[in-house]
Chains A and B, each alone.
Chain A
Amino acid sequence: MKTKQTIAVIGATGNIGSAISKNLSKGNYRLLLKGSKQDELETLVKEIKTSNSAADVEAAVCPAEAGWEADIIILAVPFGAEKEVAKKIKEVANQKIVISISNPLNETYNGLVTAPDTSAAEELQKLLPNSKVIKAFNTTFAADFTTPVIDGKQADAFIAGNDEDALQIVTELVATAGFNPIVAGDLCVSRTLENMQLLLIQLGMKYNYNWLAGWKILHH
């Protein structure tokens, strides 16, 4: 697509929000970044502009304003905060792509807080019934964004959702961020994807992967 798309990142100052913002700033996107700490946000914007003077990036005033201008909204906030953020953006997110990144982990990282017959992404879709919720970037650690090629292999990044056009657009986004995009299926596949990250976190703690780990499907 030649026409520049505007992306709002809510929770841009967090680990994954800042990593995504930095990588997407290299693509043909205009970024509107929102976090609650204005000084951290300004620092992030400066940092992105310093490393890439052509980056089209700006700090936003509030989630609703950022979402109104955006074509795509990325929620990079903890699962527990999604209800509150969804309420703020519901009206402006109508018909738009909303990317769900969160993994609904419990406090001890040994399980998910969501019931087995749902997922964080499906819960977000219930909160935003007229938006096109797409699961993406949840199986990649923040550190993978600076090193998407690990041990000589480019990490896969799985995508799930129900709208064909939206899946296509997010696939481009994931590739721009540096990963190998794989459309895994419709939105309920998010249940598997969120559990995959639970497993990766558990393995990372057990074998000390130091948060630099990812999934790779081997095939012929």
Chain B
Amino acid sequence: MYELFFRNFTKKVPLTQEEEALIKTYLTPKKLRKKQYLLQEGDVCKNIAFIEAGALKAYSVDDTGNEHIIQFGIEGWIISDLYSFLTGEPATYNIDAIEDAELILISKSAHEELLLKIPKYETYTRLNITGAYLAMQKRLTSIISSPLAERYANFTALYPDIVQRVPQHMIASYMGLTPETLSRVRRRISAK
């Protein structure tokens, strides 16, 4: 239930057995089935979710009802509306399951207590947030300045698992393309 969570944690920051047991008391195991929501826009995001198994997506919906995928998450990743989680303001993202999923949730109050009680959890959090920031900067730069084909190639090189598991129209949405444009880009790449 918590295997991958602690494997990832101890890779970043080694823990004693006592610390691991103490952290465990703050975690919420939760199963989500395909298509179920973890969070809907407008609610406050009360949890950070670590993905033990399965795949999720975070997305916003525009005025015409189109989904824009902000982030995918698969085993070993963390997904949430961090802005809403940290500020307590209503979420602007929806998060739902692309596949049946097993999650480890950390509620806001659990998160705050853990930060106070266990310095190693603070380190773990810092590393996670740093990682998320770097990924976001990369994504932003590539959206603004990389040509389409390069963006797609980078994405597939970085996240081959996601490309395999997730339907193409979702990849298109993530890249800010229509599915038609994406398939044109893919044809061009494979023709090379």
* A contact set with B: CB distance below 8 Å: 1-4, 30, 68-69, 71, 91-92, 94-96, 129-130, 165
Q: Given A68-B30, A68-B31, A95-B107, are A1 and B25 also a contact pair (CB < 8 Å)?
A: no
Provide the main secondary structure of the chain A interface.
Answer: loop
* Nearest-Cβ distance from residue B1 to partner chain A, whole angstroms: 7
* Nearest-Cβ distance from residue B51 to partner chain A, whole angstroms: 15
* B1-45 interface code vs A (CB 8 A; 1 in, 0 out): 100000000000000000000001111111111001111111100
Provide the main secondary structure of the chain B interface.
Answer: mixed
CA distance A92 to B29 in the complex (A): 6
Q: Given A3-B37, A95-B107, A165-B109, are A69 and B27 also a contact pair (CB < 8 Å)?
A: no
B162 at the interface (CB under 8 A from A): no
Task: Let me know if B109 and A94 touch, CB within 8 A.
Answer: no
Max chain B C-beta neighbours (<10 A), residue from A30, A71, A95 = A95
For residue A4, which residue of chain B has the nearest CB?
Answer: B37
Task: Let me know if A3 and B38 touch, CB within 8 A.
Answer: yes
Select B30's contact among A3, A30, A71, A165, beta carbons within 8 Å.
A71
**Chain B residues within an 8 Å CB radius of A68:** 29-31
Task: Let me know if B37 and A95 touch, CB within 8 A.
Answer: no
* B contact set with A: CB distance below 8 Å: 1, 24-33, 36-43, 46, 105, 107, 109-110
Select A1's contact among B32, B43, B105, beta carbons within 8 Å.
B43
Task: Let me know if B43 and A95 touch, CB within 8 A.
Answer: no
* Nearest-Cβ distance from residue A114 to partner chain B, whole angstroms: 26
**Chain A residues within an 8 Å CB radius of B41:** 2
**Chain B residues within an 8 Å CB radius of A3:** 37-40, 43
CA distance A92 to B32 in the complex (A): 13
**Chain B residues within an 8 Å CB radius of A165:** 46, 109
Task: Let me know if A69 and B30 touch, CB within 8 A.
Answer: yes
* Nearest-Cβ distance from residue B36 to partner chain A, whole angstroms: 8
* Nearest-Cβ distance from residue A132 to partner chain B, whole angstroms: 10
Select B28's contact among A1, A4, A30, A95, beta carbons within 8 Å.
A95
**Chain B residues within an 8 Å CB radius of A2:** 40-43
**Chain B residues within an 8 Å CB radius of A130:** 25-26
Task: Let me know if A94 and B38 touch, CB within 8 A.
Answer: no
Task: Let me know if A95 and B40 touch, CB within 8 A.
Answer: no
**Chain B residues within an 8 Å CB radius of A71:** 30
Task: Let me know if B40 and A69 touch, CB within 8 A.
Answer: no
CA distance A95 to B107 in the complex (A): 9
Task: Let me know if B31 and A94 touch, CB within 8 A.
Answer: no
Select A94's contact among B25, B32, B42, B43, beta carbons within 8 Å.
B25
For residue A3, which residue of chain B has the nearest CB?
Answer: B40
CA distance A207 to B178 in the complex (A): 72
Task: Let me know if A94 and B27 touch, CB within 8 A.
Answer: yes
Max chain B C-beta neighbours (<10 A), residue from A2, A4, A96, A165 = A2
Subset of 30 A-B contacts with CB under 8 Å: A1-B43, A2-B41, A2-B42, A2-B43, A3-B37, A3-B38, A3-B39, A3-B43, A4-B36, A68-B29, A68-B30, A69-B30, A69-B32, A71-B30, A92-B1, A92-B29, A94-B24, A94-B25, A94-B27, A94-B28, A94-B29, A95-B26, A95-B105, A95-B107, A95-B110, A96-B28, A129-B25, A130-B25, A130-B26, A165-B46
